[in-house]
Amino acid sequence: MDNSNRDGLNAMEVHQNLSLSFEQNEINEDMEVPLFVQRTRGSSNPIPFYSQNITNQPLCMYKVPARPAPESTSAEPRPSTVALRRSWPSDNWQSYGATIRERNAVMFNNGLMSDVSFNVGPKESCQKIPAHKYVLATGSSVFYAMFYGELAENSSAIDIPDVEPFAFLTLLRYLYSDETDLNEDNVLSTLYAAKKYLVPHLARACVEFLEQNLSASNVCTLLTQSHLFEDADLLDRCWKVIDAQAELALASESFLEVDHVTLQGILDRETLNVKELVLFNALCHWAEKNATAESFDRPQRTCDKS
């Protein structure tokens, strides 16, 4: 038998042996297998590529990879860089961060090397938060103008009474580590802070969070806020939810908290999917909730709920 026939026979035998081994799950990590790189025309049998020498040994060999271990369903989520740095020793912490993002996160809400501080929140509940001008200026044009512009602040302590402390910390966390720690309690305040300091990517993350968690129970609150933030996408989503689920939205607690502008906008809608009596009763409840002695007397009887 010539070499070509012998090679073809070897290829067929190898193929059959491998197929049998795969079926019987007998291949292990140390088994060497020829690297098949071509097939004969009109045949399903793979042919190993041999080197052009008298030994006729396969040119390439590889090892069958080990089967991946099943993923654990109880694995804990990867800790954030901010949480991770708390476990680093205080000395030589620079050696524990593999990336600039990890090392930069060490400085978040840290007085070490801080060159500016903020008194955040109303005066009665103000919180002092340390920061670093360089980090803030590279993430926000507002902070850049505040620290390095023509009208730069000379004070080392800056008052920010109109932002909630937890929202400002969420903003700083993003600027220091690119992490967005959003939840239902801080997302609106964080969106306000992101808009104020022109951090568009964080603002977009807030809007996406709100859109994903939009429902009939909170749509009226978000509708009011979207007017304040002038976010067209969020505003459009809110109107679609109100049109489709008007009865549920008008019965929610958030409807009782809307301002006059938002209320007028709802009443002007011609696409509300709601009966007139339901809309009338909801308006009566809003009036009772928001009535003041200066505007008009509280009605003596409640509106019919039937």
Considering the domain architecture, whether residues 110 and 172 belong to the same structural domain is answered as yes
Q: 292 has which bridge partners?
A: none
Residue that the structure tokens 């099943």 belong to: 70
For residue 118, the surrounding DSSP H or E stretch is strand 116-120
Assign 268 a pLDDT band (cuts: 50, 70, 90).
very high
Q: Would you say residue 158 lies in a domain?
A: yes
Shared-domain flag, residues 48 and 15: yes
Residue 77 is given by DSSP the state: P
- The whole-angstrom separation of Cα 118 and Cα 156 is 8
Q: What is the pLDDT of residues 202-251, one digit of tens each?
A: 999 999 999 999 999 999 989 888 877 878 888 899 999 999 999 999 99
- Provide the pLDDT for residue 6: 46
For residue 24, CA distances in Å to 20, 27, 63 come to: 6, 8, 18
Taking all residues of the chain, what is their mean pLDDT, rounded to a whole number? 75
Residue 200 lies in a domain: no
Helix H, strand E, coil C: the string for 228-272 is HHCCHHHHHHHHHHHHHCHHHHHCCHHHHHCCHHHHHHHHCCCCC
Same domain, 86 and 188: yes
Torsion angle of the four alpha carbons 245, 251, 254, 260, in this order, in degrees rounded to the nearest 10 = 90
Query: Residue 54 falls within a domain, yes or no?
Result: yes
Q: Which residue has the higher pLDDT, 52 or 262?
A: 262
Among 137, 127, 145, 146, CA closest to 176: 137
pLDDT tens per residue, range 124-135? 889 999 999 999
How far, in Å, CA of 184 to CA of 167, rounded? 12
pLDDT exceeds 70 at position 49: no
Which residue segment(s) compose the domain that 16 sits in? 3-63
Same-domain check for residues 167 and 257: no
pLDDT digits (tens, 9 = 90+) for 154-190: 888 999 999 999 999 999 999 999 999 899 899 999 9
109, 36: one domain: no
- Number of domains the chain is built from: 3
Structure confidence at residue 65 (pLDDT): 33
**Residue 140 confidence (pLDDT) above 90:** yes
Percentage of residues of the chain with pLDDT beyond 90: 47
